[in-house]
Structure 1
Amino acid sequence: MSRVLGAVLAGGRSSRFGSDKAAATLDGRDLLHHAADRLRDHVDSIVVVGERMGGLPDLPRAGLGPLGGIAAALDHGSTHGYRCVLTIGCDMPVVPDGLIEALLRRAPAYCSEAPILGHWPAALGAQLLAHIETAPDRSVRRWARSIGALPIMPDRPIPNVNTPRDLAELAARSFAPA
């Protein structure tokens, strides 16, 4: 059986948001749980990456951005017998229909518009740690391209909550989970 771990990345500084956006609420629930719900039907279990939210710590250390969270998720996945890891940012409460299914058809693959949403072989953990230590920047997209990951284009824009205004605009559009 092919096991897939879901990982919600919630370790960012939330500097543009002004407070911990993973805990911000939309439709009566926090963004962390909305993101986890996007993965729930597609994975065997879900972990949170981000120490402030009580989750796994980034690897190899804090402050590396999303790549540190993905590295932690891949490490956890490989040491716990998962073949792949499906990652999502805590600030992605809505994902277009069919996008996750398209990502799951291939690994590695990532959303071209939001590369933190990706499907990664757990065995890439050591390679990612080496990349983090030697790459000139911490771009998820650049790392994904370096490993030959397939970019998947969503059929519509993905709301990303970076500021309180983004959250208010999403709420005003009569939020309905995808």
Structure 2
Amino acid sequence: MSAIAGIVLAGGGSIRFGSDKLLAPYHGSSLLHRAIERVGEVSDDVIVVMSPAAADPAMPPRAKVVRDASEGEGPLAGLHAGLLATVRSDLAVVVGGDMPDLQPPVLRAMVLALHDGPGDAAALATTDGPSPLPIVLRTWPAADAVHTLLHAGRRRLGDVLDVLDTVVIDEKTWTAMDPGRRSLFDVDEPGDLER
């Protein structure tokens, strides 16, 4: 199988949370470390994209921090920084640093859907359409598409799925591996830690 990078987007401002949510304790770890651990189960390398002003948290040995030079430009700019750092990887599994309950079987199914078939992106189907996270991307087509989107003033993470040939894994398939739909769970407020 091709080289696979994990990209953890960790550049958000935690405004609704009230403090740096990525450092919040969660099941014996932190939100960020849980996301790194989960994506690390399906990738060869893990890249954590942080804003330039963020403090350097302690990282697991296999995680490499990349700074998003365009602070304030949104998650799409962070994705671009992460993709540019994946020099030797054909595929990138992209998750949020606030997604502590990602299910590795679901991530593996997304990787296989893209590895074994056509398309430049894989996403999970939801009732609202393809979820913008987690996603799996073919690294270089995605980097080119994100670059074009940024220059066009588009900043939403979901925009990349609009312009790439996206394989959408139907809800019945992925929820059979994740009946609780934990792969879509993200933490926005302190109360979310109890869910």
Which TM-score band applies after superposition, normalised by the shorter structure? Answer: 0.7 to 0.9
Kindly indicate whether the alpha-carbon contact (under 8 Å) linking 1:86 and 1:117 is maintained by their aligned counterparts in 2. Answer: yes
Instruction: Give 5+ residue unaligned stretches, structure 1.
Output: 171-178
For 2:95 and 2:8, the matched residues in 1 are separated by: 5
Kindly indicate whether the alpha-carbon contact (under 8 Å) linking 1:11 and 1:53 is maintained by their aligned counterparts in 2. Answer: no
Kindly indicate whether the alpha-carbon contact (under 8 Å) linking 2:31 and 2:100 is maintained by their aligned counterparts in 1. Answer: yes
Is 1:115 matched up with 2:122? Answer: no
Q: What is the CA RMSD across the aligned residues, in angstroms? A: 1.9
2:68 aligns with: 58
Is 1:69 matched up with 2:78? Answer: yes
For 1:45 and 1:127, the matched residues in 2 are separated by: 22
1:84 aligns with: 91
Q: What is the CA-CA distance between 1:53 and the residue it aligns to?
A: 5.1
Q: What is the CA-CA distance between 1:68 and the residue it aligns to?
A: 1.3
Distance 1:21 1:111, change over 3 A: farther
Q: What is the CA-CA distance between 1:133 and the residue it aligns to?
A: 1.8
Decide which moves more: 8-17 or 94-103.
94-103
1:140 aligns with: 157
Kindly indicate whether the alpha-carbon contact (under 8 Å) linking 2:6 and 2:92 is maintained by their aligned counterparts in 1. Answer: yes
Q: What is the CA-CA distance between 1:127 and the residue it aligns to?
A: 2.4
Higher strand share: 2
1:2 is paired with a residue of what secondary structure? coil
Q: What is the CA-CA distance between 1:97 and the residue it aligns to?
A: 5.6
Kindly indicate whether the alpha-carbon contact (under 8 Å) linking 2:80 and 2:147 is maintained by their aligned counterparts in 1. Answer: yes
State the TM-score, normalizing by the size of structure 1.
Answer: 0.83
Instruction: Give 5+ residue unaligned stretches, structure 2.
Output: 57-64, 115-119
Letter in 2 for 1:73: G
Q: What is the CA-CA distance between 1:95 and the residue it aligns to?
A: 2.1
Kindly indicate whether the alpha-carbon contact (under 8 Å) linking 2:35 and 2:100 is maintained by their aligned counterparts in 1. Answer: yes
Aligned length: 165
Kindly indicate whether the alpha-carbon contact (under 8 Å) linking 2:96 and 2:133 is maintained by their aligned counterparts in 1. Answer: yes
1:62 is paired with a residue of what secondary structure? coil
1:102 aligns with: 109
Letter in 2 for 1:111: L
